[in-house]
Structure 1
């Protein structure tokens, strides 16, 4: 009964935020709808597809296309009406809830980011979303014990990141939704999707930190899996395994013991498998995850206006699990009225021995002229200090960074081709498969539609 009441309250919160969003958004006359179709991401696609960025782009397109199609169908003039939530916000929210278990939905992307960490090392796996099972347990299966043994032995930092990559995907998707809403004025009733990403991550953290739920879920999964190693998930409850391997980078993977069936390694970790210090740390992360709700977008506030009226701005908080502990960040969105856009973030990376800073700045779709054609570049600069070996108990930190530039060139009416070059040192960057140094090139095609803004509120005609 309590669970049903909580669910009803959460749905009411979401719907009210959608209405506030529609009523209070202050946008321009137009919105820029950008659909990205990734083609190539090297060197990652030399071993696997899709990568983290690619699966997120595909999932984003999925939500944007369906949200826009529904609103174009039912919204008069394509404009969101806060009083018509029954036909607009509610169906979209119900779709978003159901789509989590469909290919290209949020659940699919969550599992793909786990798979991307395995794919980085050429390890094969299977996304259980494609099985269309009615079970609430969705696996990344067909993973060999031998691969997990090698990953833990040779790359303990990547083993920890493997467990947390699903959480990372949903936070990064929210950030992309918010960037589109702020910089491109493209926000087709995305409040529900953002809410569901936050809610599922926070609730998942709560499951991991509950002794009774964690134990029951794990025992049920082991019983259903039986003696078949390919049928098993790669890890069980993500955040319990994350905590276990975070604290034990030097423990051999086989030390988990034998699976209850007597065949293979006992992969899944329960809350009861954690030491008292580890349990406390997991509970701390569960509590810190609520910081993600400090997000004006979630409550319908896409932007605020400075006193001069010349600039718009917004800011959000972010808590994310990392290979060495966690990151607390402040994301800042700024744009000049009809001009320059700036995204920045200040990071505080935390492990067991200290806190280390990081800062990043991006200029989204900065207009340039190239070969007498209007084009756009998106430069990004990122500098940080992070634990030297990206491990929980590293006593020292090391300076690192990332630089990238993306060029978007028109190739036909409403179509652009993009090419992005990126270089990074060793370090963890959310949404990047590589913890070591790497140089990457990404290619793709975008469909760009400049449309009448959904947020343009018509001025009522004066009665004569």
Structure 2
């Protein structure tokens, strides 16, 4: 790590070193779309959720299924689908900015290259701000990660991003108290993960776009959303420590006193996250009654937290600053060790169902052998446990082959039953392949087949052991 930081500093300070260590994004503008139309078993869980809604019931599932329920998949996207759609939307806009500024400020030398990148990032921040509010945008992904956790347990919810005109004040509504009681009683780790999943979605979006910028050299001008999105996530985790937090939480409970379904599923995420982290055996209804109204009081105030809860939330909040540590944050997508050898890195800390993950993603391209290695620890009350993941891209090196595949292998240790206070650990693995077949030069059929044992996996909604199969298509410009 010291060597990497030293190289960055030298490259920024020495003019002759700039072109040698920091690799410019000089390839023609490009983007890639991907869309998985089949996502099993999640699509069946989503269909069951829709069936419960139609029958006016609550979880667990006990209704009949029809083709109509499956046909509403667009209303209940998986974490992977939400990430892909956010990538498609924002990536298309980034592509437009690159085309525009390559036309008006051709990056023919270092000075013009820097000007080109600065202008592209400034205008991209403007369209990012507009797209954030749209279905399939960045904020949409945040809310859909919350909803995906509920969908795996057949709990219906509604993403108010579809209620246009809400601005950034977007909530997940139409959640019944009975469903939250069911979730906390039967799946306490899912209840914890539910509150943290939105920020997990923001970090997953940034990781996915960095993969494109490093491995596919798309050159997306995403400095603005990287900095401001990470700042939002860090501030959101730390929000319960602000002086105004109790007051703004009280202001939430002034509204919708008689309308349970109009309420957000939790209020502010991380006071609820740490509260449920410490109270897995407490019934959800023990939160009390909604002040001056009906139903259960969902939002958790700072004054509801014990000193131990505040201490761990503070630790988790401080760890979020790791997410700023990356050359990607200032638009450096590739660093060169020597000709043909490229790397980059991004540190990462993510709140999870058992506590938090802290580590980093290391991007490697050694003579076209492309890998992302993720190393870190899983932290809970009593345990600090290892985690490692390897993603190997484009296993087949024959340029004439229409078939290719990526490989994913991961192993970890996490607290037993995902419980924060556990004294014992459980090991787990993930293994997966992502084959693709090129139908034309630009259009491919794609799939993603994976198996995971019990445990938390970044960007996967299931805490149970699960085999997942996805099939779809991708389109690229080069």
Instruction: Give the structure 2 partner of residue 54 of structure 1.
Output: 81
Within 5 Å, give how 1:18-97 maps onto structure 2.
25-27=23-25, 29=27, 33-48=31-46, 49-76=76-103, 81-84=113-116, 88-97=120-129
Question: Does the Cα contact within 8 Å between 1:100 and 1:106 map onto a contact in 2?
Answer: yes
Instruction: Give the structure 2 partner of residue 165 of structure 1.
Output: 197
Instruction: Give the structure 2 partner of residue 140 of structure 1.
Output: 172
Q: Deviations over 1:411-457 (max 9, x none)?
A: 2331001111100100100110110100010111000221xxxxxxx
Residue 200 of structure 1 pairs with residue 253 of structure 2: no
CA deviation after TM superposition for structure 1 residue 28, in Å? 6.2
Instruction: Give the structure 2 partner of residue 379 of structure 1.
Output: 407
Instruction: Give the structure 1 partner of residue 53 of structure 2.
Output: none
- Separation in 2, partners of 1:135, 1:373: 47
SS of 1:67 mapped into structure 2? helix
- Separation in 2, partners of 1:447, 1:410: 10
TM-score (ref. length: structure 2): 0.85
CA deviation after TM superposition for structure 1 residue 135, in Å? 6.0
CA deviation after TM superposition for structure 1 residue 122, in Å? 1.0
Instruction: Give the structure 2 partner of residue 435 of structure 1.
Output: 463
- Separation in 2, partners of 1:327, 1:71: 34
CA deviation after TM superposition for structure 1 residue 375, in Å? 2.0
Match of residue 120, structure 1, among 152, 177, 185: 152
Match of residue 336, structure 2, among 297, 300, 305: 305
Question: Does the Cα contact within 8 Å between 2:133 and 2:168 map onto a contact in 1?
Answer: no
133-142 vs 42-51, which moves further: 133-142
Instruction: Give the structure 2 partner of residue 254 of structure 1.
Output: 285
Structure 1 pair 71/315, CA: closer, same or farther in 2 (3 Å)? closer
- Separation in 2, partners of 1:366, 1:33: 21
Match of residue 417, structure 2, among 364, 385, 389: 389
- Separation in 1, partners of 2:300, 2:219: 39
- Separation in 2, partners of 1:113, 1:303: 29
SS of 1:358 mapped into structure 2? strand
CA deviation after TM superposition for structure 1 residue 32, in Å? 5.6
What value does the CA root-mean-square deviation take over the aligned residues?
A: 2.2
Instruction: Give the structure 1 partner of residue 317 of structure 2.
Output: 286
SS of 2:351 mapped into structure 1? strand
Instruction: Give the structure 2 partner of residue 324 of structure 1.
Output: 354
- Separation in 1, partners of 2:25, 2:116: 20
Q: Deviations over 1:27-59 (max 9, x none)?
A: 464566321112111000112231000011001
CA deviation after TM superposition for structure 1 residue 314, in Å? 1.1
Task: For CA contacts below 8 A with separation 6 or more, give which structure has more relative contact order.
Answer: 1
CA deviation after TM superposition for structure 1 residue 343, in Å? 0.7
- Separation in 1, partners of 2:38, 2:207: 22
CA deviation after TM superposition for structure 1 residue 94, in Å? 1.8
Question: Does the Cα contact within 8 Å between 2:29 and 2:99 map onto a contact in 1?
Answer: no
Residue 346 of structure 1 pairs with residue 375 of structure 2: yes
Match of residue 299, structure 2, among 268, 271, 278: 268
CA deviation after TM superposition for structure 1 residue 74, in Å? 4.1
Runs of 5+ in structure 2 lacking a partner? 1-11, 13-17, 47-75, 108-112
- Separation in 1, partners of 2:42, 2:159: 18
Runs of 5+ in structure 1 lacking a partner? 1-15, 451-464
218-227 vs 349-358, which moves further: 218-227
Match of residue 405, structure 1, among 422, 425, 433: 433
SS of 1:443 mapped into structure 2? strand
Residue 420 of structure 1 pairs with residue 451 of structure 2: no
CA deviation after TM superposition for structure 1 residue 286, in Å? 1.5
Q: Deviations over 1:296-337 (max 9, x none)?
A: 10022212212x433101122111101110111121110024
Structure 1 pair 88/136, CA: closer, same or farther in 2 (3 Å)? closer
Question: Does the Cα contact within 8 Å between 1:159 and 1:245 map onto a contact in 2?
Answer: yes
TM-score (ref. length: structure 1): 0.87
Question: Does the Cα contact within 8 Å between 1:24 and 1:300 map onto a contact in 2?
Answer: no
- Separation in 1, partners of 2:240, 2:165: 22
Instruction: Give the structure 2 partner of residue 448 of structure 1.
Output: 476
- Separation in 2, partners of 1:368, 1:295: 29
- Separation in 1, partners of 2:468, 2:279: 31
Residue 224 of structure 1 pairs with residue 251 of structure 2: no
- Separation in 2, partners of 1:163, 1:152: 12
- Separation in 2, partners of 1:396, 1:296: 37
Instruction: Give the structure 2 partner of residue 357 of structure 1.
Output: 386
